[in-house]
Amino acid sequence: MSCCSSTPLLWLFLSLSSSLFTSTRAEVPAVIVFGDSSVDSGNNNVISTLLKSNFRPYGRDFYGGQPTGRFCNGRIPPDFISEAFGLKPAIPAYLDPAYNISDFATGVCFASAGTGYDNATSKVLNVIPLWKELEYYKEYQRQLRAYVGGKKANLILREALYLMSLGTNDFMENYYTFPTRRSQFSVRQYQDFLLALCENFIRELHGLGARKLSITGLPPMGCLPLERATNILGQNDCVPEYNNVALEFNRKLEGLVVKLNRDLPGMRMVSAPAYDIFYQIITKPSQFGFEVTGLACCSTGTFEMSYLCSEYNPLTCSDANKYVFWDAFHPTQKTNKIISDHLIPLLLAMFSH
Ligand SMILES: *[C@@H]1O[C@H](CO)[C@@H](O)[C@H](O)[C@H]1NC(C)=O
Ligand SMILES: *[C@@H]1O[C@H](CO)[C@@H](O)[C@H](O)[C@H]1NC(C)=O
């Protein structure tokens, strides 16, 4: 036997695996994003709200040190997920005038920082309500059909990976801040109210052609630096009540996902398991290479975000990689990357075929 009989086999293996790889990557032609600041790549830049982040030090670890309107020093989870599917490494915001449909055809973000499922939440800081995100998506569909033709557009819209991430603001910015919703709903009723809005949204999205959807529930919101800062009696530890509300909401969301996968023809939907890994990072920071978890990098790290997190603040940390949180409400790029790396194998397994 010749020594080299393995060469054609090796070649076959390589070409087979590379063609599998390419066909795998082609199966998700675009990533399409709805939600709040956890996934907003800059839509708030062009609306009249105080909730913005298109200035330094935001973006200082992004490509070119560029502030984009991401509430982060660098990239956010949809960027990492898009890259993992072989698409672009940063998803442009739909309202950003620097981009057009030729960019959006492979990825687009409709998210708006400060928004929630509840219309009343988006009104607090005058940001884009979720129903309006869907209106922009319908406009995007029309542009896409005009750009690539109806048939190709339908294929893109059907095979695209849709990401949804919101809900924190409904509790932290609305329910626990203003009396109106608290006078109308117990916290459990409010969870159910939000999940009913979530269900309606997903049914509409499915009706418009979406089939692959990953939805992220609530983070350990009692551990956000802003909430810790106000937990004076609890020695600035995480607020267990808020974390329990998040866990309960996420359990209910999982039930909704099962139901919608059953009800909606062709739907493939997953609830992204982000809570546990995020909680691990917060409670065992050194295992992930972090030094600080209770305070954010920006300024005093207790309450600053948006315009309060400014370039002129002398207290901002110099190395955000040591911090779990970038500002009082948002994780650093490094935290976003660890959470994304945790979710990506599941997303690839579920959606890349
Ligand atoms: C999108 O913008 C690019 C660069 O600005 C331009 O060359 C292109 O013609 C635009 N495409 C459409 C479809 O408007
Ligand atoms: C939210 O506002 C939109 C636009 O005004 C409206 O169509 C929708 O019914 C509202 N949703 C709820 C649950 O009130």
Looking at per-residue pLDDT, the higher value among 311 and 45 belongs to 45
How far is the centre of ligand 2, averaged over its atoms, from the C-alpha of 33 (Å)? 20
Contact 114, 36 (CB under 8 A): yes
Q: Quick check: 300 and 325 in contact, CB under 8 A? A: no
Residue 15 CB contacts under 8 Å (≥ 6 apart), including other chains = none
151 phi and psi, to 5 degrees? -65, -50
Q: Which two tokens stand for residue 325?
A: 């949180």
**Interval between CA 76 and ligand 1 midpoint (Å):** 26
The rounded distance, in Å, linking the Cα atoms of 49 and 43 is 11
> Which residues, in sequence order, are CB contacts of 141 under 8 Å at separation 6+?
153, 157, 208, 209
- In tens, the pLDDT along 46-76 reads 999 999 999 999 999 999 999 999 999 999 9
- Under 8 Å between Cβ of 198 and 256: yes
pLDDT surpassing 50 at residue 5: no
Strand, coil or helix: 325: strand
Answer whether 0.75 is exceeded by the pTM: yes
Regarding the beta carbon of 17 and ligand 1, being less than 6 Å apart is answered no
133 contacts 205 by C-beta, under 8 angstroms: no
Residue 55's nearest CA partner among 329, 319, 308, 300 is 308
Q: Which ligand has its closest atom nearest to the C-alpha of 129? A: 2
Burial class (CB in 10 A: 0-12, 13-18, 19+), 217: buried
Which has the closest alpha carbon to 208: 171, 172, 160? 160
* Active site (catalytic) residues: 37, 327, 330
- Structure confidence at residue 353 (pLDDT): 80
Q: How far is the CA of 160 from the centre of ligand 1 (A)?
A: 22
Out of 119, 122, 181, give the residue to mutate to test ligand 2, the one with the largest number of ligand atoms within 8 Å of its CB: 119
Burial class of 81 by CB neighbour count within 10 A (0 to 12, 13 to 18, 19+)? buried
Q: Which residue has the higher pLDDT, 18 or 164?
A: 164
Kindly report each contact of residues 257-266 with a partner whose C-beta sits within 8 Å and lies 24 or more positions away, as own/partner: 257/215, 260/199, 260/202, 260/203, 260/206, 264/202, 264/203, 264/206, 266/211
193: how many CB neighbours lie within 10 A of its CB?
17
Q: Helix count (H) and strand count (E) of the chain?
A: 13, 7
**Helices in 208-272 by DSSP H: which ranges?**
225-230, 240-263
Q: How high is the mean pLDDT of the chain?
A: 93
- Give me the residue label for tokens 């691990």: 280
**Tokens 């300024």, residue?**
299
β-pairing, 330-331 with 325-327? antiparallel
Q: What is the mean pLDDT of residues 177-206?
A: 98
Q: Is the CB of 102 under 6 A from ligand 1?
A: yes
Q: What percent of the chain stands above pLDDT 90?
A: 91
Q: Ligand 2 atom 2: the closest Cα is on which residue? A: 119
**pLDDT at residue 17 greater than cutoff 70:** no
Q: What is the mean pLDDT of residues 103-126?
A: 98
Average pLDDT of span 264-278:
98
Residue 22 confidence class, pLDDT cut points 50, 70, 90: very low
Whether 148 is in the pocket of ligand 1, judged by its Cβ within 6 Å, is no
Question: What is the dotted CATH code of the domain comprising 28-220+238-273+332-351?
Answer: 3.40.50.1110
pLDDT of residue 77: 98
> Which pLDDT score, from 0 to 100, does residue 243 have?
98
Is any ligand 2 atom within 6 A of the Cβ of residue 100? no
Say whether 304 sits in a helix, a strand or coil: coil
CA of 99 to the centre of ligand 2 (A): 29
Q: Which atom of ligand 2 is nearest to the CA of 119?
A: 1
pLDDT at residue 279 above 50?
Answer: yes
Ligand 1: which of 100, 140, 147, 148 to mutate, judged by most atoms within 8 Å of the beta carbon?
Answer: 100
Domain positions in the chain:
28-220+238-273+332-351
Please give the pLDDT value at position 248: 98
For 24-28, what is the mean pLDDT? 64
Query: Sorting pLDDT into bands at 50, 70 and 90, what band is 280?
Result: very high
Residues 6+ apart with CB under 8 A from 236: 228, 229, 294
**Does the CB atom of residue 200 touch ligand 2 within 6 A?**
no
Return the structure tokens found at 250. 């996420």
Residue 100 CB–ligand 1 contact under 6 Å: yes
Question: Which amino acid, 69?
Answer: G
What does the pLDDT average to over 4-16? 43
DSSP state of 116: -
